């Protein structure tokens, strides 16, 4: 069988399905959610330096941390695992914010009790909010600009904070964020550099969220689901 025939046959099969995609799009469900990504920092370099076994242990520790924290809050859903990262969703920012705060505190504890000088145990987190289409695939998945922007925000490398929030998301949930201002500081808006947006034609503006660790441990409001 000639290679050109194989290519033509495969391409015809793909193009034949496009009409179905056009027709099925309108039937897909719109879902408006607060979205959150959390990833394990330097996981690839850690595996290269320490080897696959220790890299596996580190990765599974990360996923166990995520799942243990979110298991106490039935408002948070784990949508998918992406390499050494997770996509979470909730109807409101509050459950995701509280999960991220706890995840960060525990990761700080792991960092100090299991010292690793070159690639310590650290996480990076981001928030967005908006409409996404629920896709019809074997595993639950979503597609939307809010998730695209969140993925770009996760490329941010800051010396100030490891938590970023899309500007529109901050504006939508500003009143909720203010309830945590005894230990949270929110930066002024910043624009993601074009090189970090992977040439996305839409500008992405975000803010950094800084946690005051000492004042966090004095905070006694909210976190209801973890008090049960």
Nearest to 156 by CA among 208, 106, 104, 120: 208
Which positions ≥6 away from 182 have C-beta within 8 Å?
Answer: 215, 218, 219
* Residue-wise pLDDT tens digits, 27-67: 888 899 999 999 999 999 999 999 999 999 999 999 999 99
In a domain, 2, yes or no: no
* Residue-wise pLDDT tens digits, 85-117: 999 999 999 999 999 999 999 999 998 887 777
Q: Supply the CATH number for residue 178's domain.
A: 3.30.70.1230
In a domain, 34, yes or no: yes
In a domain, 199, yes or no: yes
In a domain, 152, yes or no: yes
In a domain, 38, yes or no: yes
**Overall number of domains in the chain:** 1
Query: Residue 2: its pLDDT value, please?
Result: 87
Round to whole Å and give the CA distance between 146 and 137: 20
Q: Is 36 helix (H, G, I), strand (E, B) or coil?
A: strand
* Residue-wise pLDDT tens digits, 109-149: 998 887 777 889 999 999 999 999 988 777 788 889 999 99
> What is the domain range of residue 113?
28-215
Largest CA distance in the chain: 72
In a domain, 52, yes or no: yes
- Tokens 């290269």 appear where? 48
């Amino acid at each position: 069988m000639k290679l050109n025939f194989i290519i033509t046959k495969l391409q015809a099969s793909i193009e034949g399905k496009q009409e179905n995609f056009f027709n099925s799009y309108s039937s897909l469900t719109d879902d408006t959610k607060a979205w959150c990504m959390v990833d394990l920092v330097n996981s690839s370099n850690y595996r290269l330096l320490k080897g696959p076994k220790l890299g596996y242990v580190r990765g599974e520790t990360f996923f166990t941390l995520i799942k243990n924290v979110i298991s106490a809050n039935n408002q948070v859903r784990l949508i998918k695992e992406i390499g050494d990262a997770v996509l979470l969703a909730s109807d409101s920012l509050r459950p995701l914010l509280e999960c991220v705060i706890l995840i960060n505190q525990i990761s700080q504890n792991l960092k100090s009790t299991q010292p690793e000088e070159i690639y310590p145990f650290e996480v990076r987190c981001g928030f967005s909010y908006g409409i996404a289409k629920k896709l019809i695939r074997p595993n639950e998945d979503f597609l939307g600009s809010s998730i695209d922007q969140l993925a770009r925000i996760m490329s941010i490398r800051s010396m100030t904070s490891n938590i970023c929030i899309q500007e529109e998301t901050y504006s939508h949930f500003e009143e909720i964020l203010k309830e945590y201002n005894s230990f949270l500081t929110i930066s002024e808006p910043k624009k993601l550099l074009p090189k970090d947006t992977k040439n996305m034609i839409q500008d992405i503006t975000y803010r950094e969220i800084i946690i005051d660790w000492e004042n966090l441990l004095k905070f006694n409001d909210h976190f209801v689901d973890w008090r049960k």
